[in-house]
Amino acid sequence: MQASLLDTPLQVSGHVLRNRVIMGSMHTGFEEHPEGNEHLAAFYQARAKGGVALIITGGISPNADGVVTDDGAKLTTNEEATWHKVVTDAVHQDGAKICMQILHTGRYAMMRQPVAPSAIQAPINPARPRALSLSEVKQTVQDYIRCAQLAQQAGYDGVEVMGSEGYLINQFIAKRTNQRDDEYGGSLENRHRFAQEIVAGIRAACGDDFIIIFRISVLDLVEDGSTWEDNLALIARMEAAGASMFNTGIGWHEARIPTIATMVPRAAFKEFTGKLKQASRLPVIATNRINMPEVAESILQAGLADAVCLARPMLADAEWTNKALQQQSAAINTCIACNQACLDHIFVGKLTSCLVNPFACHELQLIQTPASKRKKVAVIGAGPAGMACAKTAAERGHQVTLFDALSELGGQLNIAKTIPGKQEFYEAIRYFKHELEKLGVNIQLNRRVQADDVRDFDEIVLATGIHPRKIDLDGIDHPKVMTYLDVLRERKAVGDKVAIIGSGGIGFDVGEFLSQDGPDSALDSHLFQQEWQIDASLEHAGGLNSAEPQLHPSKRDITICQRKPGVVGRTLGKTTGWIHRLTLKERGVNMLGGLEYVKVDDAGLHIKQAGEDKVLAVDHVIICAGQEPNRDLQAALEALGKPVHLIGGAEIAAELDAKRAILSGTQVALAL
């Protein structure tokens, strides 16, 4: 058996990192709150206690122009540096190092008018930026340097200079966004000048024992991005300027290729990090979809990187590093790359958390303490809400029995895991099963509970989930009509022509399930690159063979139907909805909005669109139009005179929502 490379120290700019696991930058929302430093301190300290060697914070702007929003976090004054000292002190108490990410958003700033190298509007921003003047460019370089000095003053061991993902430095580097004709534009040397002056200035101002991580975009995934020859020149210039390490950036935010969603294979971009490692004299960090120790270790063993960087997995499990180093993979609460409680929250101004771990970023709000009195707790339903409740209640010392009428744990997660690109949901079920067995929870499957079965319990938690909503439609009982459970759980045969009523997450999941044939690209990096036209040779600018993906067309004729007018699937996740819409579009799935459903008969689904009668001649109509709480047992349970708590879908059934289910189960368990 090979010795673990994850567990070996790494020397960087006079610092010794205790292992090769780095926590990547993850904005939490606390960065903008006056008392947010206390919350950040608790959040980061939990990860430091969890064994991580180095933490990279969420992005902090070097000036007012670079903030994401008008009230975004910046570090420009001594007073602001004092605010950060609380965070760095907490991390250092537990032996980890911490670097602050300096992030200037450039044309991505969601402000009245952003600034950029050139006045070229980003496709993901409604505002056209103003081009920085030459004097403003030079002042911005000084702002980066001053920001790093203040970070050092605040106790940070170094900084990460954000030079990727299409932010300001990346905008200077790429022809796509830099049309300047002064010393910061035109030639490659000039386009690299901004980054080079920033890194060299920070090194001169902060000394040799200050860590400077340069996050380099090895793969832009946009047209007119950098070529690999461009990157080689940038690598050499950053080394000469005084960088300590390279972190790997993959894809601009405006790129139409998924890079971190659950449908992206694990470590899908490791070979590009390997090219960076071959070209660099400095340590190189691998990123993107590294969520389990075996994946991380394989990257290091193959010589593709010197360290691994995990952001969302550290939300999912603060103890990830300790568990990895102790070879306890089964005990890791695995990031499923859903983005629902982290990135989706940040992009709408909410605090970050984690679908599978609601304690993340809520260490000072969700406090788990031993139960003052040990109780017998019955949890009826072993879906995400029930499993989370049983786990937390057992951890607090309660005697828990978990019932389910089906033969396996997981509830709706067992449906989710069957969808192409969503195999990570297997990991969530594995984790809860491991923890429940370790905690001694009495698991009773294939058990349809009646009220008398739980008469002797002190507390009863009803987590029986949902019933699919039966919509009011003439012909709803026609043999052509099916529910999503018929398709995804019962695996009933489905015809070649299908209409899906409902364009929420379930409707799109059914579309994914029915439209994909053959190998799943979420399990095969090379197939994924082929489908999304990623240039593995990196000869083309931006790393693209073509601007259009080439996904295998569906063998079925599928139409997703929506009552509301406008974009079909508009309510899908902020950071992943576009992927689902684009994927199904490329497979030839039809999407119709603004419909009135008339009836189902032998001819198919009758609809009205813009006042015109139409018939979709389909073999099956699949209803994915919402759910209703399954509270069939509630009255009988309440008649026992015992406390009855509703969680998950049994409490609220508005769209299947594992995030809300796990949170509600956890909250009830904390209150028992």
What tens digit of pLDDT does each residue of 23-60 get? 999 999 999 988 899 999 999 999 999 999 999 999 99
Query: How many angstroms separate the CA atoms of 340 and 646, rounded?
Result: 23
42 exposure class (CB count in 10 Å sphere: 0-12, 13-18, 19+)? middle
CA-to-CA distance for 198 and 190, rounded, in angstroms?
A: 13
Neighbours of 14 (CB within 10 A): 12
Per-residue 3-state assignment (H helix, E strand, C coil) for 90-137: HHHCCCCEEEEEECCCHHHCCCCCCEECCCCCCCCCCCCCEECCHHHH
The reply to whether 130 and 262 lie within a common domain is yes
Examine residue 536 and state whether it is found in any structural domain, yes or no: no
How many other CB atoms sit within 10 Å of the CB of residue 397?
Answer: 16
Q: Radius of gyration over alpha carbons of the chain, in Å?
A: 26
Is residue 56, in this structure, part of any structural domain at all?
A: yes
531 in any annotated domain = no
User: Phi then psi for 644, rounded to 5 degrees?
Assistant: -120, 125
| Cβ atoms within 10 Å of 112's Cβ, excluding its own | 7
- Based on the fold, state whether residues 206 and 329 are members of the same structural domain: yes
Tokens at residue 135, please? 């004097």
Quick one: CA torsion of 334, 335, 341, 342, rounded to 10 degrees?
Answer: 140
Same domain membership, residue 189 and residue 51: yes
- 490 and 426, same structural domain? no
CATH value at residue 401:
3.40.50.720
Q: What CATH number has the domain bearing residue 36?
A: 3.20.20.70
Facing residues of 377 across strands? Answer: 400, 459
Which residue in the block uniquely carries the two structure tokens 């000072």? Answer: 364
| Residue 352 belongs to some domain of the structure | no
Question: What is residue 655's predicted lDDT score, i.e. its pLDDT?
Answer: 61
Please check whether residues 475 and 392 belong to one and the same domain.
no
Query: What residues make up the domain containing 128?
Result: 10-346
Average pLDDT value for the chain: 95
Q: Does 1 map to a domain?
A: no
Q: For the purposes of burial, counting CB atoms within 10 Å of the CB of 456, is it exposed (0-12), middle (13-18) or buried (19 or more)?
A: exposed
* Pairwise CA distance, residues 588 & 550, whole Å: 11
Same domain? 510 vs 441: no
Contact criterion met (CB below 8 Å) for 645 and 460: yes
Q: Please write the tens of the pLDDT for every residue from 433-483.
A: 999 999 999 999 999 999 999 999 999 999 999 888 889 999 999 999 999
In terms of domains, do 561 and 649 share one?
no
Torsional class of 48: left (φ above 0), alpha (ψ -120 to 50), beta (otherwise): alpha
Decide: 381 and 411 in contact? Cβ < 8 Å. Answer: yes
Which amino acid is located at 636 in the chain?
A
The CATH number for 603's domain is: 3.50.50.60
Which of 327, 346, 365 corresponds to the end of one domain? 346
The answer to whether the beta carbons of residues 205 and 529 sit under 8 Å apart is no
- Residue 155 sits in the same domain as residue 250: yes
Q: CB–CB of 556/497 below 8 Å? A: yes
Residue in 552, 532, 531 with CA at minimum distance from that of residue 542:
532
Q: What is the reported pLDDT for 2? A: 72
* 3-state secondary structure (DSSP) of residue 569: coil
Residues 308 and 290: beta-carbon distance below 8 Å: yes
Same domain, 462 and 595: no
- Assess if residue 361 is contained within a domain: no
Domain total in the chain: 3
Nearest to 190 by CA among 179, 201, 200: 179
Q: Which of 346, 366, 390 is the last residue of a domain?
A: 346
Same domain, 238 and 300: yes
Contact 652, 660 (CB under 8 A): yes
Q: How far apart are CA 534 and CA 543, in angstroms?
A: 6
25 and 161 co-located in one domain:
yes
Looking at residue 469, what is its pLDDT?
86
- Whole-angstrom CA distances from 114 to 101, 108, 125, 130, 280 are 20, 7, 10, 6, 34
What is the set of active-site residues?
167
The Cα 628–Cα 467 span in angstroms is: 5
Q: Are 543 and 534 in contact (CB under 8 A)?
A: yes
**The pairing of beta strand 612-616 with beta strand 158-163:** unpaired
Q: CA-to-CA distance for 324 and 29, rounded, in angstroms?
A: 28
Cβ atoms of residues 6 and 300 within 8 Å: yes
Asked whether residue 180 falls in the same domain as residue 36, the answer is yes
Helix pair angle (658-671, 384-395), 10° resolution = 30
Is there a domain that residue 534 lies in? no
Q: In the numeric block, which tokens belong to residue 73?
A: 């976090």
pLDDT tens track for 271-304: 999 999 999 999 999 999 999 999 999 999 999 9
Distance CA 561, CA 555 (A): 19
Q: Does residue 70 belong to any structural domain of this protein?
A: yes
Averages of pLDDT over each 10 residues, the chain, 672 residues: 87 97 96 93 98 98 94 96 97 97 96 94 95 98 98 98 98 98 98 98 98 98 96 98 98 95 95 97 97 97 98 98 97 96 88 96 96 97 97 98 96 92 94 98 97 96 91 95 94 97 94 90 92 93 91 95 93 90 95 96 96 96 92 95 95 80 97 96
